[in-house]
């Protein structure tokens, strides 16, 4: 069993302190706390400018475990040029900051639709388009299977097995971002982590599932405060050879988003030692 994660191996997903800090402040915070990696969201990246951000991250000596997020292929019910272009920009931003991958939240059902099979087809069509460009600039694309409670409005790819089926068909340059929050309940998860393998295991995100959970989106817990066997899942991905950052992404309207962000980072580090 794995025995804790050093701060240098943690990555701060900027969503964890999104209500408190800009990207510049996040970079500075990571440097001060000895957190080794960062994973920006695009809104914060664009606010700072990708070129400035790339320089600041480089100067701070921090790695980039991912860029959140591309995708959202389904909303219009067709793969529009606007969606293709936006994902192309996301790939270029990921390349500019040297992100280990571009994380994809693929989109839920098209507006007004009840046809989830059509949504799946749109996602695969969109990913194929994005991949064409991503391969040319060597940005790995990571499908993030989201928890099934987001199938309607955020992502209709909800299991690791389903994401890997798509990867199998799409070929090189695409894999998965596994977030314990989304996958912990899956009775097939051990087999699917094995199936993923090192090459397709592009990111590993942690937080915790609180009991009770009071909101579908913004009531995620700090590692250790919930019921997920995070250490067990980490051991499984590391058995496949995963040696990337352990990225902390916590959406928490009523708790962590209201705290002093230095306290949030200190707690991340403290809890990292026991997962």
- Contact residues: a copy of itself, CB under 8 A: 108-109, 113-116, 120, 147-149, 151-153, 156-159, 161-162, 165, 184-187, 209, 211-214, 216, 226-229, 232
CA contacts within 13 A on the Cβ side of 17: 26
Whichever of 162 and 195 has its CB closer to a copy of itself, that residue is 162
Residue that is written with structure tokens 């693929």 in the block? 106
Whichever of 137 and 217 has its CB closer to a copy of itself, that residue is 217
Whichever of 174 and 223 has its CB closer to a copy of itself, that residue is 223
Residue 238 C-beta: closest distance to a copy of itself, Å:
18
- Report how far residue 224's alpha carbon sits from residue 208's, in angstroms, rounded to the nearest whole number: 7
Whichever of 133 and 205 has its CB closer to a copy of itself, that residue is 205
Query: Nearest CA to 66 among 97, 27, 92?
Result: 97
Whichever of 92 and 153 has its CB closer to a copy of itself, that residue is 153
Query: Nearest CA to 158 among 149, 170, 145?
Result: 145
- Note whether 141 and 99 are within 8 A (CB): no
Residue 22 C-beta: closest distance to a copy of itself, Å:
28
Residue 225 C-beta: closest distance to a copy of itself, Å:
11
Residue that is written with structure tokens 């040319």 in the block? 136
Whichever of 119 and 265 has its CB closer to a copy of itself, that residue is 119
Exposed e or buried b per residue across 131-163, where buried means at least 16 C-beta atoms within 10 angstroms of its C-beta: bebbbeeebbbbbbbbbeebbeebbbbbbbbbb
- Report how far residue 53's alpha carbon sits from residue 183's, in angstroms, rounded to the nearest whole number: 31
Residue 165 C-beta: closest distance to a copy of itself, Å:
8
Tokens, residue 2: 């794995």
Whichever of 159 and 252 has its CB closer to a copy of itself, that residue is 159
- Note whether 145 and 176 are within 8 A (CB): yes
- Supply angle C-alpha 91, 18, 175, rounded to 5: 35
Residue 213 C-beta: closest distance to a copy of itself, Å:
6
Residue 208 C-beta: closest distance to a copy of itself, Å:
10
Residue 216 C-beta: closest distance to a copy of itself, Å:
6
């Amino acid at each position: 069993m794995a025995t804790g994660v050093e701060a240098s191996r943690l990555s701060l997903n900027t969503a964890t302190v999104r209500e408190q800090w800009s990207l510049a402040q996040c970079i500075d915070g990571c440097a001060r706390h000895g957190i080794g990696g960062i994973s920006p969201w695009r809104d914060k990246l664009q606010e700072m400018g990708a070129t400035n951000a790339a320089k600041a991250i480089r100067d701070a000596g921090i790695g980039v475990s991912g860029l959140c997020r591309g995708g959202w292929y389904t909303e219009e019910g067709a793969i529009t040029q606007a969606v293709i272009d936006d994902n192309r920009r996301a790939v270029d931003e990921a390349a500019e900051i040297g992100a280990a991958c571009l994380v994809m939240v693929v989109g839920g059902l098209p507006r007004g639709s009840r046809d989830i099979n059509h949504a799946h087809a749109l996602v695969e069509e969109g990913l194929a388009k994005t991949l064409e460009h991503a391969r040319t600039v060597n940005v790995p694309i990571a499908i993030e299977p989201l928890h099934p409670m987001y199938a309607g409005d955020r992502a209709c790819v909800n299991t690791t097995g389903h994401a890997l089926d798509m990867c199998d068909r799409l070929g090189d340059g695409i894999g998965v971002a596994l977030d314990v929050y989304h996958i912990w309940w899956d009775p097939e998860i051990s087999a699917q982590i094995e199936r993923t393998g090192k090459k397709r295991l592009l990111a590993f995100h942690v937080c915790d599932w609180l009991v009770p959970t009071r909101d579908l989106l913004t009531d995620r817990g700090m590692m250790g405060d919930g019921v997920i066997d995070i250490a067990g899942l980490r051991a499984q991905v590391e058995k496949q050879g995963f040696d990337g950052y352990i990225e902390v992404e916590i959406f928490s309207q009523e708790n962590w988003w209201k705290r002093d962000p230095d306290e949030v980072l200190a707690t991340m580090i403290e809890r990292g030692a026991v997962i």
